[in-house]
Amino acid sequence: MSASDLQTPIEYLKGVGPNRAALLRSELGIKTYQDLLHHFPHRYIDKTKYYTISELVKSSAEVQIVGKIVHLKSVPMKRGSRLVATFADETGKMELVWFRGHKYLQENLKLNAPYVIFGKVNFYSGIFSMPHPELELLSEHEQNIRVAMQPVYPSTEKLAKANITNRIISKLVQQIFMQSGKNFAETLSPSLLSQLALIDRGTAMFTIHFPESPQLLAKAQYRLKFEELFFIQLQLIHKNLLHKAKIKGFVFNTVGEQFNEFYSKHLPFDLTNAQKHVLKEIRHNMGTGAQMNRLLQGDVGSGKTIVALMTMLIAIDNGYQACLMAPTEILAIQHYQGISELLEPMDIKVALLTGSTKTAERRILHEGLRDGSVHILLGTHALIEDTVQFKNLGLAIIDEQHRFGVAQRSKLWKKNSLPPHVLVMTATPIPRTLAMTLYGDLDVSVIDELPPGRKAIKTVHRYDSNRLKVFKFMRDEIQKGRQIYVVYPLIQESATLDYKDLMDGYESVAREFPAPEFQISIVHGQMKPADKEYEMNRFVKGETHIMVATTVIEVGVNVPNASVMVIESAERFGLSQLHQLRGRVGRGADQSYCILMTGSKLGNDSKTRMQTMTSTNDGFEIAEVDLKLRGPGDLMGTQQSGILQLKVADLIRDNDLLNIARSYAQELLKKDPNLSQSDNLPIARAFAKMMKHKSLWNYIS
C-alpha cells in the first residue's frame, strides 16, 4: 500500500462512515488508515479452543462457544431494563445479557442462526450467563483472518456504548490488510535488517495485529520497537548536527582577564574534577563558531552556579553580556546575592530584574543593558519582556529549565541578530534513558560529584508514633544553634485541606516549641508575596528557628545554617520532590538530617520510595527508581508527557533497545550524513516523510 493511500481519511474505509469516523477521531485520535494500523493491540487472547456449555466452570476466564440464540426478552429493572437471550448448544443452555444497545441488538440479532460468542462467564442462581458478549455469525467467523492469538485493542467507554467493539476495530484493521495485501514500504536499510536479523515491515505490521504464535509476535514487536526508537534518535541527532552546521554562534576564543582573576584570586573553593571537565566542554563548545546548546545536569548542591558564573566570565572576556533566567523571584534574588558577593572585588556590574523591580530602577537598568555597562543580568521571566534590550547578549543561561515553556525560552534567543550561546541547567536529575530521548538534540554535561567537605545528608524514616522522639531531636539541634524546616505536602485539588493540615501542624509545633524561647516562621501558597518574603527573610537571617511550610521552599532558599528537614506525610510526595526538598539542607559544614514522617500503613510504592530515600543520596539513582515507579509521562510533568506517548516501544522496559537504536543512528549519520547512499534510501524516504509531518520530537528543546 502506498504512503499516500495510508493517508486516506478513515471515513472512507468500508464499515466506518462519518459517525464512526468522528468517534474514532475524538476518542482515539485515529484520523487516517495509517493511524488505525498504528493503533496496536495492548494484549492478546488465545481463541484456539471452543467450549461447550456443559464444560463451563466458575472462573473469571474468557471463553468461546458456538451455539444459537433460541429466545430473546426484555426484563424490567429499577432503572431501565436489560435484554436477556437464551443461548443453547447441544449440551445445554445459558443466558446472554445486555444492559445497553437494546434497539440495535433487537433489530440485528438472528434467532436460531449459529453464532460464535466470546466473553467472561458469570454463575448466578444456578445458571451461567455472559454479559455483553462479543458476537459473530459462524459464517462470518469462518471467513475472517484466523489467528490463534486474538488482538485486544485499547478502547474507551464511549466507543463501547456506540457499539464500536474490539471485534469491530479488529475487522477494520483486517479490511486495510485485505486492500493492501501486506505491501508496506520498507523503512530500514537492507544492511540494518540483516545486521539485527529484523523481519520486513509488512510482515511485522501484519503479525503485531494477527500473530500466529508468541514467537512471531516477539519478532514483530522487536522490529517495530527498534524502528520507532531508531527514527526518534535519528531525528534528534540529525537536528543537533544541523544546528551545529547551520546556526552560527559567537566565537569566544579568549579566556581572559576576568576569568583568570576570578579563578586565581576569588574562587572560594577548589573546583571538583567534574566541574573542571564541564567547563572544558563548555569552553570548547563556545569556541567553535556554532551556537552552543547544552544541558547541564547536576544534583542539588553539586556546584552548577559556579560553573554558570565562570561561563558568564568567558562571555564578558570576549566583550559580550550574559543573563541568567530563574523560575521564581526567590531563586533569582538568591542567584543575584550569591553572584554579586563573589564578584564584589571585581569591576563587573551585576543587575537584577524581577516583577517587583520599580519603574525608576527599570529605566536605569534598561539603559545600562543597552549601553553595555551592565555585564550580567539575573532575573525571572521579566527578562524576556520586549522592553529588555541588550547591547550584545552573548550567553543565556536558564535555571530549572523545565519550568519554562518553549515559547518563553525562544524569546531570549531573539534578543540578538546572532543567537546567544545557551546553557540550560537542571537540578532535577534525569535518567540517562530519558535524557537521551528528551534532550537528544542538546549536548549534555553532568556534574556527578559533590564538592569536598560536603557531608552526606543522613536520611531516616520515622512513623507518626515516633513523633515525640523527633521533637526531642529537633530541640537538641536548635540548642546547637541549627535551624529546621518542617514541610507539609501540597495537593493542588484541595487547597482548603492543605491549609488545615498546615495549620494543624503549625499549632502542634508551636505547642511543642513555645515562644518566646522559640521563634517559628510559616510560609504557604495562600500568603501575599510580600508576607512570604518577610517570613523567608526572617528564617534566612536566623531570626526564626523553625520554618513550617508547604513546598514553596522546594526550589531556591539557601540557608547553610538549616541542618534538619522534616517532611510530613512523606508518602504523599514523589521521589524527585523528596530529593529536591532534602537538598535544602546539607549546605553548610555541619552534619544535616532529613526525617521522613509517614503513617504506619504504606502501599508498596510508598515503601519503595522511603527505602530509596534512606539508602541513597544519588539523584540519578533516585531518578531511575522514579522512572520505573511513575513512567516517563508523569516524570516530565504535563508539559512534556505528550511527547512520550510512544506507539509500541516503552522507555523503561526497552532501555537496552533504545541504546542500540541510538548507536546505530549515530553510526549511520557519521558515515552517511545526508542519507544519500543507495542502501540507505528506504531510511531517507521514511525520514523525509517524518520531517514533513513535523513530528513532536522537533519541538522538544
pLDDT at 47 over 50: yes
- Predicted pLDDT at 640: 42
Q: Which three cell numbers stand for residue 61?
A: 476466564
- Predicted pLDDT at 700: 34
610 — pLDDT class (breaks 50, 70, 90): very high
Name the more confident of 552 and 627: 627
Q: Which three cell numbers stand for residue 148?
A: 490463534
- Predicted pLDDT at 349: 96
pLDDT at 406 over 70: no
- Containing H/E element for 564? strand 562-567
- Predicted pLDDT at 114: 96
pLDDT at 566 over 90: yes
The answer to whether 563 and 588 are in contact (CB under 8 A) is yes
What tens digit of pLDDT does each residue of 674-700 get?
999 999 999 999 998 887 765 433 333
What is the pLDDT averaged over residues 442-446? Answer: 84
- Predicted pLDDT at 701: 32
pTM: 0.66
* Residue 636, CA atoms < 13 Å, CB-side half-sphere: 22
Is residue 576 classed as helix, strand or coil in its secondary structure?
helix
Cell 548536527 belongs to 241
What tens digit of pLDDT does each residue of 654-681 get?
878 988 999 999 999 999 999 999 999 9
The answer to whether 323 and 350 are in contact (CB under 8 A) is no
Q: What is the 3-state secondary structure (H, E, C) of 43-66?
A: EEEECCCCECHHHCCCCCCEEEEE
What is the pLDDT averaged over residues 302-306? Answer: 88
444 — pLDDT class (breaks 50, 70, 90): confident
The answer to whether 300 and 462 are in contact (CB under 8 A) is no
pLDDT at 342 over 60: yes
**For 246-282, b where at least 16 C-beta lie within 10 A, e where not — what string?**
eeebbebeebeebbebbeeeeeeeebbebbebbbebb
Question: Which DSSP string corresponds to 165-187?
Answer: -HHHHHHHHHHHHHHHTT-----
pLDDT at 652 over 80: no
* Distance in angstroms (rounded) separating the CA atoms of residues 552 and 532: 10
The answer to whether 46 and 149 are in contact (CB under 8 A) is yes
Q: Which three cell numbers stand for residue 695?
A: 513530528
First to last CA, the chain: 35
Which of 158, 167, 144 has its CA nearest to residue 24? Answer: 158
- Containing H/E element for 624? helix 619-635
- Predicted pLDDT at 295: 87
- Predicted pLDDT at 631: 64
**Least confident interval from 196-200, 337-341, 550-554:** 550-554
pLDDT at 534 over 90: no
Which of 578, 607, 631 has its CA nearest to residue 300? Answer: 578
What is the pLDDT averaged over residues 101-120? Answer: 91
* Distance in angstroms (rounded) separating the CA atoms of residues 45 and 62: 8
**For 595-604, b where at least 16 C-beta lie within 10 A, e where not — what string?**
bbbbeeebee
User: Which residues on neighbouring strands pair with residue 378, listed in sequence order?
Assistant: 324, 352
- Predicted pLDDT at 440: 67
User: Residue type for 354, please?
Assistant: T
DSSP designation for 290: B
- Predicted pLDDT at 643: 45
* pLDDT cut 90: percent of the chain above it: 47
Tell me the torsion sign for CA atoms 207, 210, 216, 217.
Answer: positive
pLDDT at 79 over 50: yes
- Predicted pLDDT at 147: 62
- Predicted pLDDT at 307: 95
What is the pLDDT averaged over residues 527-532? Answer: 82
Name the more confident of 309 and 633: 309
pLDDT at 642 over 50: no
* Distance in angstroms (rounded) separating the CA atoms of residues 103 and 95: 18
Task: Spell out the long-range contacts of 653-661 with Cβ–Cβ below 8 A and sequence spacing 24 or more.
Answer: 654/225, 654/229, 655/433, 657/222, 657/225, 657/226, 657/229, 658/229, 658/233, 658/433, 658/436, 658/437, 659/436, 660/196, 660/226, 661/226, 661/229, 661/230, 661/232, 661/233
- Predicted pLDDT at 441: 66
The answer to whether 345 and 371 are in contact (CB under 8 A) is no
pLDDT at 424 over 70: yes
pLDDT at 638 over 50: no
Question: Which DSSP string corresponds to 520-552?
Answer: EEEE-TTS-HHHHHHHHHHHHTT--SEEEE-GG
What is the pLDDT averaged over residues 631-652? Answer: 58
- Predicted pLDDT at 11: 93
- Mean pLDDT of all residues belonging to the chain: 86
User: What are the chain's domains?
Assistant: 49-147 (2.40.50.140), 257-286+303-426 (3.40.50.300), 458-616 (3.40.50.300)
The answer to whether 188 and 227 are in contact (CB under 8 A) is yes
Alpha carbon distances (Å) from 113 to 66, 110, 141: 10, 6, 13
Q: Where are the beta strands (DSSP E) in 90-154?
A: 92-98, 114-120, 122-124, 127-131, 134-137, 149-152
What interhelical angle do 604-615 and 619-635 show, nearest 10?
150
Name the more confident of 267 and 694: 267
* Distance in angstroms (rounded) separating the CA atoms of residues 686 and 695: 12
- Total residue length of the chain: 701
Cell 533516585 belongs to 622
The answer to whether 334 and 328 are in contact (CB under 8 A) is no
What is the pLDDT averaged over residues 166-179? Answer: 90
What's the helix, strand, coil split of the chain in %, to 5? 45, 20, 35
pLDDT at 646 over 90: no
Edge to edge, the sheet with strand 321-325 lists 350-353, 376-379, 321-325, 393-399, 421-426, 293-298, 443-447
Q: Which three cell numbers stand for residue 614?
A: 534512606
* Distance in angstroms (rounded) separating the CA atoms of residues 413 and 553: 30
Alpha carbon distances (Å) from 291 to 254, 500, 669, 674, 678: 16, 50, 20, 21, 32
Strands 92-98 and 458-463, bridge-based pairing: unpaired
Cell 517587583 belongs to 356
Burial class (CB within 10 angstroms; exposed 0-12, middle 13-18, buried 19+) of 319: middle
